[in-house]
Amino acid sequence: MINDTPHILVVDDELSMRELLEVLLTKEGYRVSFADNGRNAISMIEKTDFDLLLCDIRLGDITGLEVLKAAKAQKEDSVVIMISAYATTEAAVEAMNEGAYDFVPKPFNNEELTQTIKNALALKTIEHEKEILDDELKRTLRFDKIVGNSPSMRHIYKLILQVAKTKSSVLITGESGTGKELIAKAIHDQSHRSEKPFVVLNCGGIPETLMESELFGHKKGSFTGATQDKKGLFEVADKGTIFLDEIGELTPPIQVKLLRAVQEHVFKPVGGNEDISVDIRIISATNKKLEDEVIAGNFREDLFYRLNVIEIKVPPLRERKSDLRLLAQHFLDKYSREMGKEITKISSYAIDLLNKYDFPGNVRELENLLERSVALSSTNIILPDSLALSIHKRRWIEGIKDRRFDLDQVKNGVLLDAILEEIERAYLEKALDCTKGKKQEAAELLGISFRTFRYRLQKLEIEKKIRKKYPEQMD
């Protein structure tokens, strides 16, 4: 019988630490084995396939980095978390460069460590499932620019395949930045029209006076500046697909003219007398609730039903956070290549920081953030201090500053992690101000150990700020 319980190897030369981790990990339901030095660990790795290694940097004989290298040599996808009481950015970078999943400083918070382990094991499962899904998609699909393995995205993949086989009009709905154009392009690529044009028009980016000409073309002399005949995008897209983005921005007069083209696939150019017939697939998209626009009289009901034969709803990023790591890695790889940098990984602490944010700008905002982070990073790993999140942090803080203890706001939704982080940050900085930067004394004022105090400084990225403010205090 196969045992599905994850098997963890703990490598640490301190008996007390092994005993602590045995209690902690056994309580979480894991099978746990132990090695008291590096050579014993390597011997065990060669004989047993562990799901995860939890390895100290400093061991009695060889270093934890050598154990890490041996584990990776034995099995390339080995999941290894390094722990150390001597945590530095340089050590973290070196460990991550060698393929560690993460680097956790001692003393660690038990809940944070177990969550890191859960994340690592979950990612291993997700990556395995993604490999299976990717193999499946490669055989049947060509929309590799869409990234996601969440249930909602799997559902969309199935819809794309089903919809692509039909001629029906499709309405793609979702917030700005969710990737609606990518969905439209995937439908086109999977259809029998894939070798024909895929024409995109942003309906919100063209003035009303030019929209009719842009859609249907015009004849020479039909208006001032029309010095020659021009084909409209409907004609350009003949035999292919036209994608009308931000369809809700069209004015009522243009909606009237569009209705006939959608119904009959026939239209007249501006200044023309003869109808032009086309064979096109119409896909439209909007970030508005068109039903509400219809009720408000801003959008024609008959046009709405013509466009909304099949609807595909794209979820916002905050509703598919399980895709965030895959998306972040995708953009990291993309911009690392473009900028000629060798940035290969994002630490789980950086991912945790991203997970605390709701990304109102959705995938587009995440992409922008990763592009900036790659551009600004001075290491080949995205750590929390190299993650360009300062703008977003300020947004969270400004949003909670005046209502931190207003419990009535809970019913409207709050960011508890951000609130607690700001409270913790304020107490740490105040304690350091009281002791003029003396960390040992500040820890005593707060009733916590020096190790815990130092860990919290690193976690909240206060260390650099304090060193600048009190350069003489280096304890």
Residue 141 has a pLDDT of 42
CA distance 62 to 67: 8
- Is residue 151 within 8 Å of residue 292, measured between CB atoms? no
Residues ≥6 apart with Cβ < 8 Å to 310:
159, 163, 166, 168, 169, 170, 171
Query: What six digits make up the tokens of 354?
Result: 């991203």
**Same-domain status, 120 and 168:** no
Residue 456 lies in a domain: no
**Same-domain status, 215 and 117:** no
Residue 430 has a pLDDT of 85
CA distance 8 to 68: 14
**Same-domain status, 88 and 188:** no
Q: Where are the beta strands (DSSP E) in 217-334?
A: 217-218, 230-231, 241-245, 266-267, 276-277, 281-286, 310-313
**Same-domain status, 157 and 221:** yes
Residue 435 has a pLDDT of 85
**Same-domain status, 45 and 171:** no
**Same-domain status, 121 and 155:** no
Residue 276 has a pLDDT of 92
Any idea what the CATH number is for the domain that residue 235 is in? 3.40.50.300
**Domain count of the chain?**
2
**Same-domain status, 104 and 239:** no
Task: Specify the 3-state DSSP secondary structure of 309.
Answer: coil
Q: Tell me the pLDDT tens digit for each residue of 268-281.
A: 888 888 889 999 99
Which amino acid is residue 195, in one-letter code?
A: E
**Same-domain status, 159 and 280:** yes
- Is residue 326 within 8 Å of residue 149, measured between CB atoms? yes
CA distance 168 to 445: 69
**Same-domain status, 109 and 244:** no
- Is residue 60 within 8 Å of residue 13, measured between CB atoms? yes
- Is residue 12 within 8 Å of residue 18, measured between CB atoms? yes
**Same-domain status, 88 and 179:** no
Last residue of a domain, one of 281, 313, 345: 313
Give 174's Cβ-side CA count (13 Å radius): 27
Residue 325 lies in a domain: no
**Same-domain status, 84 and 223:** no
**Same-domain status, 221 and 288:** yes
Full domain range(s) for residue 91: 7-126
Residue 144 has a pLDDT of 58
pTM of this structure:
0.61
Full pLDDT tens readout for the chain, 475 residues = 345 788 999 999 889 899 999 999 999 999 999 999 999 999 999 999 899 999 998 887 888 899 999 998 888 878 899 888 775 667 777 787 788 888 888 888 888 888 888 888 877 766 655 555 455 544 444 455 788 888 899 899 989 999 998 999 999 999 999 999 999 999 999 999 999 999 999 998 888 888 999 999 888 877 777 778 889 999 999 999 999 999 999 999 999 999 999 999 999 888 888 889 999 999 999 999 999 999 999 999 999 999 999 999 999 999 998 889 889 988 998 999 999 998 888 877 778 778 878 888 899 999 999 998 898 887 778 876 667 554 444 444 444 444 445 566 666 666 677 778 778 888 888 888 888 888 888 888 888 877 778 778 877 777 777 777 777 654 4
CA distance 285 to 288: 9
- Cβ count within 10 A of residue 395: 13
Residue 193 has a pLDDT of 94
Residue 373 lies in a domain: no
Residue 458 lies in a domain: no
- Cβ count within 10 A of residue 58: 13
Would you give the DSSP letter of residue 411? G
Q: What are phi and psi of 314, to 5 degrees?
A: -95, 120
Residue 160 has a pLDDT of 92
Peptide bond into 107 cis (omega under 30): yes
- Is residue 355 within 8 Å of residue 392, measured between CB atoms? no
Q: Measured on CA atoms in the order 339, 341, 345, 348, is the torsion positive or negative?
A: negative
- Is residue 368 within 8 Å of residue 388, measured between CB atoms? no
